Amino acid sequence: MKKLQLFVLDDDMVYAERLAIFIRATEFAERVQVKLFSQVELLLQVVEEPNLKGVLLISDAFYPLLQHQRTSLSKIFLSQHIRNSDSAETVHPFLFRFQPLHELISHIQALYTERSSTVSGRTQSNRTRVMSVYSSSGNSGKSITAVHMAKQLAFRGERVLYLSLESTSPASQWLQGESGRLSQLLYYLKDSAESIGPKLAHLKSHDATRRFDYLTPLEQVREMQEMSGEQVRKLIASIIDLSVYDTLIVDLETSVHPRIVKSLELSDAIIWLIRDDWNDAFRTQTLFKQMSAFPQVHFVMTSFRGTQINSFDFLGKELTFKLPYIPDWKVMSSAEQIWQSDIFSEQVYVMLQAVSNETEGISKEGAQSYLESRAV
């Protein structure tokens, strides 16, 4: 995805320079290219170009002069007083100047993408890819796999949002950021789901170490159980319409709750984790009979120890990949344990390559060389 071009005209150059430094020093450097102007005359020479795309962020001191200025850029005004004019339907949206810069830039991105999608729509080629992680039984390593997927893609330059739709999410304690904001988003989905883009941009959390955004439930078991399939559809559609993310990774609960089934239906790829276990094979066979209409399912064996005992011929397709068993995860005692296995993290990326294109001959025994080198 191309970077958002942000043109800033501000009478407070200290603030403008601080904003530019923040953008260039954070994860926003991969998403936003900023250019500063202190003189109206110099700015007008640029913004009068007919095919220019991006955002013109203007101090409200210049509002009387530039409110009617014709430009192909989306105009947004910075205000010292107005806090809540953040609707894309507003002729000239105003954003509160003295809010955290991370939130300010997220609001700018959301407003721009909403307006852009309204004017021109989105093409399939740059559409956010939706990948869900599912399993037939618990303790399959589903959430660990999902967060490592997000990390691997983010470290390779993709813009990633990790979304947990579990009733309780262990990932909330693994990630560095403010968890539990999903509950506020669920409230907006019930109240008014037509335009939650700016709210989503404001409520998402960010893990600066792993370089991806995330939304996880914290203590919202009841709200998650009451979440409907239609609300999930609107949530995922809103994330896609933001045009901010290359990949949305959805961490799903082991159930057939309507919110889970709808997520599976909306996924471009489903990574279905299975364990080499007789009971898990039975549960997988039973559930897959109900979901065999999903052609986007990729079965991945987890906790693979080098030799497969149970048969999964009933799937009607070969396993896409086999992720290795990690002995250090047998007993968890801290969040840092999740991130300390380099071999697992690397194999997750190889698995993603196999999922993206199984016809290129990527090894389905990616864990084998590691397993042969140590006793598990």
Do 78 and 222 lie in a common domain? no
Helix boundaries (H) for the chain: 13-25, 40-47, 63-66, 101-120, 142-155, 182-191, 197-203, 221-226, 229-241, 258-265, 278-291, 342-356, 368-373
Q: What is the CATH number of the domain that holds 105?
A: 3.40.50.10850
Whether 56 shows a pLDDT value over 80: the answer reads yes
Do 207 and 283 lie in a common domain? yes
- pLDDT of the residue at 39: 85
Do 229 and 358 lie in a common domain? yes
- pLDDT of the residue at 138: 83
Do 151 and 276 lie in a common domain? yes
Do 148 and 57 lie in a common domain? no
What are the pLDDT digits (tens) for 160-174? 999 999 988 888 889
In the structure encoding, which two tokens stand for residue 197, read together?
A: 């883009």
Q: Report the predicted TM-score, pTM, of the whole model to 2 decimal places.
A: 0.67
Lowest mean pLDDT among 176-185, 275-284, 345-354: 176-185
Which residues fall within 8 angstroms of residue 154, CB to CB, at 6 or more apart?
160, 210, 211, 212
- pLDDT of the residue at 165: 93
Lowest mean pLDDT among 114-118, 230-234, 329-333: 114-118
- Structural domain of residue 57, as residue ranges? 4-120
Per the model's pLDDT, the better-predicted residue between 344 and 122 turns out to be 344
Integer Rg of the chain from CA: 23
Mean pLDDT of 232-247: 86
Mean pLDDT of 88-112: 80
Question: In whole numbers, what is the pLDDT of the chain averaged over residues?
Answer: 82
- pLDDT of the residue at 144: 96
- pLDDT of the residue at 137: 87
Chosen domain end from 91, 120, 149: 120
Do 35 and 56 lie in a common domain? yes
Compute the distance between CA of residue 41 and CA of residue 62 in angstroms, rounded to an integer.
12
What are the pLDDT digits (tens) for 21-35? 999 999 889 889 999
Task: Transcribe 191-231 into DSSP letters.
Answer: H--S--HHHHHHH-EEETTTTEEEE--SS-HHHHHH--HHH
Whether 17 shows a pLDDT value over 90: the answer reads yes
- pLDDT of the residue at 121: 44
- pLDDT of the residue at 370: 35
Mean pLDDT of 284-306: 86
Q: Report which listed range, 26-30, 215-219, 307-311, is most confident.
A: 307-311
Mean pLDDT of 148-152: 95
Do 226 and 345 lie in a common domain? yes
Do 74 and 186 lie in a common domain? no
Percent of the chain clearing pLDDT 70 (strictly above): 83
Do 314 and 173 lie in a common domain? yes
Q: What is the largest CA-CA distance in the chain?
A: 75
Do 42 and 144 lie in a common domain? no
| Tokens 């064996």, residue located | 301
Do 205 and 334 lie in a common domain? yes
